[in-house]
Structure 1
Amino acid sequence: MWPVENQSAVIEFILLGFSDNPTIQSWLFQIFSFVYMTTLTGNILLIVAVKTDNHLHKPMYLFLINLSILDICYTSIIVPKILLNIVWSAKTISYTGCVLQVYFYLFVGETECILLAFMAYDRYVAICNPLRYNVIINTISCTRMIGLSWMVGSSIACFDIYFVCHLKFCGHITINHFFCEAPSLLQVSCGDISVDIILTLVGGFMLLLIPLCLVLFSYINIFLIIVKLPSGRCKAFSKCISHVIVVTIFYGTSIFMYMRPRNSDTGVTDKIVSVFYTIVTPMLNPFIYSLRNKDVQKALGQLARCTIVLR
């Protein structure tokens, strides 16, 4: 899968993480553990609620289930390794483990970028063209959009990892990050990375800027419709603005990481920015998109009552 010379040149990487201070590490362990458990709980509850309630078997909730699956995978690729490194006071990751982490992280992240654009389009059709919603967005078209998201994400991730595997590393490699991320690997590579930088920019344009423009276009049109509503504008604005804020954080921080010049190692800034799109947004997504929804809350209530009765 990857060149033999890379494996002979470097067997493992050292991830510096956030801090060597035991007190700070203790706090970080507690914070990341809480965030991870919240992410898992929120997304699993959503999946179970939709699966067990026939009233939620609609295209919109099919999108949300896939978003929850992606968010669970997203954080599970990164956070458990962070927690293990803190507990064991070990900051190493094997070359193979690093490459696999990069691949699955890119696969899930790129799939989510495309899926969020389709979800914004779904809301656009529902609000701006409600009479044709069931014609345009049905189970078949929804399944195709979701399948396309996963297929494109997987394909582009395979393309990306091919170039990551051909990066050259010299000697003992220290990565100033808390996980193996493609831009961080480019910074510690000792070979010519000009082609990789160009491909990163092209990929960022296709998977970040274009979907973000589609999302913003959809929500701008939604806002224009909401303004004309005789009542219920505040509630509708509240929901849409919360969606836009979370999506903007996800795309904005990702664009900062993948589409800025690779002149220097920004260290702490990179780590803070990465936390937002790898850890924070997966935790917020189920609450912003789903758990405030009355239908989902009703389904969760019924699920809780059934659980109590069974006990």
Structure 2
Amino acid sequence: MVWSRGQNLSVQRPFILLGFPGPQSLHVGLFLLFLVMYVLTVAGNLAIISLVGAHWRLQTPMYFFLCNLSFLEIWFTTAFVPKTLAIFVSQGGAISLAGCAAQMYFVFSLGLLAVMAYNCYLAICLPLRYGSLMTPGRVARLTLGSWLCGFSAITVPTALIVRLSFCGSHVINHFCDIAPWIVLSCTDTQAVELVSFDAFWVILGSCGVTLVSYAYIIAATIRIPSAQGRQCTFSICSSHLTVVLIWYSSTIFLHVRPSVESSLDLTKAVTVLNTIVTPVLNPFIYTLRNKDVKEALWRSIRGK
């Protein structure tokens, strides 16, 4: 059958995700590495949710946010990693336009980081007012707002992408993201690029709240009279801030940068950092360095 140039063939033909170049030995190594990291991510976040649900001492606003973050992390990585593992096994993964758009939609937002930073700021900088400020209703509104802001920011770009026509190559030298769609489309992508750039303001706002909160936290920590207290707080905050900076810098690069075909290999590496490395760090940094969580985990292991 002969197709005209302006006809959208994406409905008829699947897209092919190339994955990573290199010899078979490299693919086997990456497959095992990604599989281990995915299992650790899912197991770690499920453990967090279970611990918080089982121990009343952990049922506070901070751990409520952590449970939401853990749930989002599982969702986040599951949208990306299983398909990546399948590509390593099959040496080329076919995926439909709808499936690719769904993967891109779910691998986007982690606005809960900003809410968690704000919660931490209130607990450290305004401890006497914390109970009156972080009421159950406000906690619920902050969490719901994070989910809505994160996913609404990618809704319009996704809706525009599924309306594009792809009449040439259906090979994606990347994973499902905005940049490859723009490179492959044979129709005008100006609207997609414009609304994708608008996502910058959502990301920047969330990043701004997070960084300002940590700036106040660091300033308050410096004023702690006890050297041991300062060291403990700095140790925890530095770990949190490292994860925050990795995630926001990689997300800003992926969703705000100009869509240039020659940079897709770099984008592929940044995507791995954003969707595999950062999620596996979160359960360990946000919980296992916390005394209450370690005590709850030890009680669970002992069966008490």
Q: Aligned partner of 1:115: which letter?
A: L
Amino acid in structure 2 at the alignment position of 1:189: S
1:217 Cα deviation after fit: 0.6
Offset at residue 9 of structure 1 (A): 6.2
**Alpha-carbon distance between aligned partners in 2 of 1:301 and 1:8, rounded to the nearest angstrom:** 52
SS class of match (1:301): helix
Residues 168, 186 of structure 2: 8 Å contact kept: no
Give me the CA root mean square deviation. 1.7
Out of 285, 299, 304, which is 1:288 matched to?
A: 285
Name the aligned partner's letter for residue 291 of structure 2: K
**In structure 2, distance between residues paired with 1:102 and 1:77:** 8
Q: Distance in 2 between matches of 1:135 and 1:8?
A: 53
The answer as to whether partners of 1:212 and 1:251 remain within 8 angstroms in 2 is: yes
Secondary structure of 1:18 counterpart: coil
Question: In the alignment, which of 169, 191, 199 is matched to residue 195 of structure 1?
Answer: 191
More displaced stretch, 150-159 vs 282-291? 150-159
Q: Give percent identity, aligned residues only.
A: 39
The partner residue of 1:218 within 213, 220, 229 is 213
In structure 1, what is the Cα distance between the partners aligned to 2:13 and 2:98?
8
The 5 A counterparts of 1:224-235 are: 224-231=219-226, 232-235=229-232
* Inter-CA distance 213–8: structure 2 relative to 1 (3 Å threshold): closer
Contact 2:154/2:199 (CA < 8 Å) preserved in 1?
A: no
Between the two proteins, the alignment pairs up a number of residues equal to: 297
Task: Name the counterpart of 1:64.
Answer: 66
Contact 2:18/2:92 (8 A) holds in 1: no
Q: Distance in 2 between matches of 1:45 and 1:283?
A: 13
SS of aligned partner of 1:14 = strand
1:151 — aligned with what?
148
| Contact 1:10–1:170, Cα closer than 8 Å, also in 2 | no
State the TM-score, normalizing by the size of structure 1. Answer: 0.91
Paired with 1:268 and 1:171, the residues of 2 have a C-alpha distance of 20
The alpha carbon displacement at 1:199 in A equals: 1.1
Q: Equivalences for 1:114-193 in 2 at 5 Å?
A: 114-177=111-174, 179-193=175-189
Matched residue of 1:6: which SS? Answer: coil
Q: 1:256 to 1:155 in 2, by over 3 A?
A: closer
Aligned counterparts, 1:73-88, within 5 A: 73-88=75-90
